[in-house]
Amino acid sequence: MLLWRLWHAIQNPPSQQAIYRRGSVRKRLQSPRVTGMFFPWMMMFAGFGFCSASTWAWLPTLLIVSMFLLNVIYALTSGVAVSDAIVKEKVTNRYPLLASSPTGTFGTAWATCVMRLHRRSSFAWVPFLVGLISIVVAFTLVLIVLMTFVVAASESGAQASEEVNQMIMRQAAGAIGLVILFCFDHFYSLVTAALLGMLVPVDEANPSEAQVRTLGIFLTIQLAMYFVCFSVFFGTQTFGLPSLGNTVEQVVLTILVYIIAREVSLHWLWRVLVNHLNAAMPEAEAVLQSS
């Protein structure tokens, strides 16, 4: 997957390059870590959130909108920061000088992008916490499904009880899919915004104009991906029966379609970036492999 290759390259910056060392003045004090009490507290919070969402009909919609809106906001601010950093180098006439170095225009843009991301103090914590929380919440929801299944298998007869157990398992399966989608969306959004932050300033030397263009293109891509995702989910729901098996199929199909759509858009954006920066694909591949 191109996503993980790009993310690995961003996480492992070209620290030997003078361009990166020149701008990377802030060092991380420590690697992200959590205490042992984080896990039981997070599991209790996840269980309470699931019960609350099952009780109040308006809460799932609020949670879904909030989760993906947080991804959009964080990724957008990161992309704008990258774009602003490159434009500032152009305004001060340092960019052509940096681009004349052995790294070339593409290497200069990449080093500036990664440097600007790592200068953000939140960059060390937010992706780490998103991944960790997603794993803990998904694990908690899987436990809920398994416990409900055990209870349903041990009970005999009661129609109402069986329907309630089926409903809980369907809701938990849908919630697991939502958590997985949220986690993937965080990293896809962040990487997409970073690439746009590199691409937009190619022919733009006005900071405000670059920020507006980054904002517009990024939001267009995000809304298109969300539209495809929710269309697939609710489209399959229309033609499916409300059983646990069909719910799992809906979730799996939606996640697969989302990942495929994201990968296609990421490959397209990567190729456009390489072409606009007058770089060959081997040069771009070398940047990813050397990180």
pLDDT digits (tens, 9 = 90+) for 168-184: 888 888 889 899 999 99
Residue 24 placed within a domain: no
Q: Tell me, what's the pLDDT at 239? A: 61
What's the pLDDT tens digit per position in 7-21?
A: 998 888 766 666 666
Residue 26 placed within a domain: no
CA distances from 43 to 96, 144, 158, 183 (A): 52, 11, 30, 17
Residue 245 placed within a domain: yes
Do 165 and 151 form a contact (C-beta atoms < 8 A)? Answer: yes
Which residues 6+ apart lie within 8 Å of 24 measured at CB? 13, 15, 115, 118, 119
Mean pLDDT of 255-277: 92
- Angle subtended at Cα 1 by Cα 290 and Cα 126, rounded to the nearest 5 degrees: 80
Residue 25 placed within a domain: no
Domain count, the chain: 1
Residue 221 placed within a domain: yes
Indicate whether 77 pLDDT > 60: yes
Q: Tell me, what's the pLDDT at 29? A: 46
Indicate whether 111 pLDDT > 90: no
DSSP state of 280: -
Q: Which of 176, 192, 191, 189 is nearest to 255 (CA)?
A: 176
Mean pLDDT of 85-97: 80
Confidence of residue 241 (pLDDT cuts 50, 70, 90): very low
Residue 32 placed within a domain: no
**Which domain covers residue 260, as residue numbers?**
38-290
Residue 16 placed within a domain: no
Structure pTM?
0.87
Measured distance CA(121)–CA(25) in Å, rounded: 12
What's the pLDDT tens digit per position in 177-211?
A: 899 999 999 999 999 999 999 988 766 566 777 77
Residue 173 CA to chain centroid, in angstroms? 21
Residue 203 placed within a domain: yes
DSSP state of 26: -
